[in-house]
Structure 1
C-alpha cells in the first residue's frame, strides 16, 4: 500500500492502518471486499460496486464496502482509499 501504512493480518481479514485502520480487505470466493473507514455520505450515489454496511455486521473497519471482481473494479476505488487515508491523518 505504501505511504506509511502498516499491514495487520487478522484471522478473517487484512487491515491497513496509519494510527487506526483505514481499509480492511476480505477475500470472498472470487471477489475481494474492501471496507473503508468513510461515512456512506462521502460516497456519491452513482458509485458502482459499493454498499452502505453501517448496520450490517462484518469483520474489520468501516461503514463503506466495495466489492471487486477484477483489477478494473479497483481503479475507481483508489480515490476513496486516498480519501480514507487523508481523513485518518495521512
Structure 2
C-alpha cells in the first residue's frame, strides 16, 4: 500500500504547483484553495474522496460510489478505491476533474 500511495501522491502533487498536501489524523488532504481529494489509507486499498457532488463526476468506468449523506472521513460526495498500480490512471482521470472544479472556483 505504501508504494501505491507514494506513486499516487507523486501524480497528485504534479498536477499543478498550487497543490498542497496536508497530513491529518485520519486522512491525507490535497488542496488548492480547498480540498479536492482526500486519501484514507486502509489495509487493502486507498479510499479516495473527491470534493464534488456525485452528479458532477464523469465516470465512464463506473468505479465511483455516491456517498451523499453518508458520514465518512474525507470531504465530498464521490468515493472510490484504488488497490493496485494499474488503477492509478483511472484515479487520476477522476481526481483531475475535482482539481479543475476547485481551481476554476478560485
TM-score, scaled relative to structure 2: 0.76
Aligned to 2:36: 22
The change in CA–CA distance for 1:44 and 1:20 in structure 2 (over 3 A counts) is: closer
Structure with a larger share of its residues in strand:
1
What is the number of equivalent residue pairs in this alignment? 90
Structure with a larger share of its residues in helix:
2
Superposed CA RMSD in Å reads: 1.6
The change in CA–CA distance for 1:45 and 1:36 in structure 2 (over 3 A counts) is: closer
Cα distance in 2 for residues equivalent to 1:47 and 1:62: 19
Unaligned runs of 5+ in 1: none
Cα distance in 2 for residues equivalent to 1:46 and 1:55: 23
Q: CA deviation at 1:47?
A: 2.8
TM-score, scaled relative to structure 1: 0.88
Query: What do residues 36-80 of structure 1 show as CA deviations (whole Å, max 9, x unaligned)?
Result: 012211235653432111111111211100111101122112111
Unaligned runs of 5+ in 2: 1-12
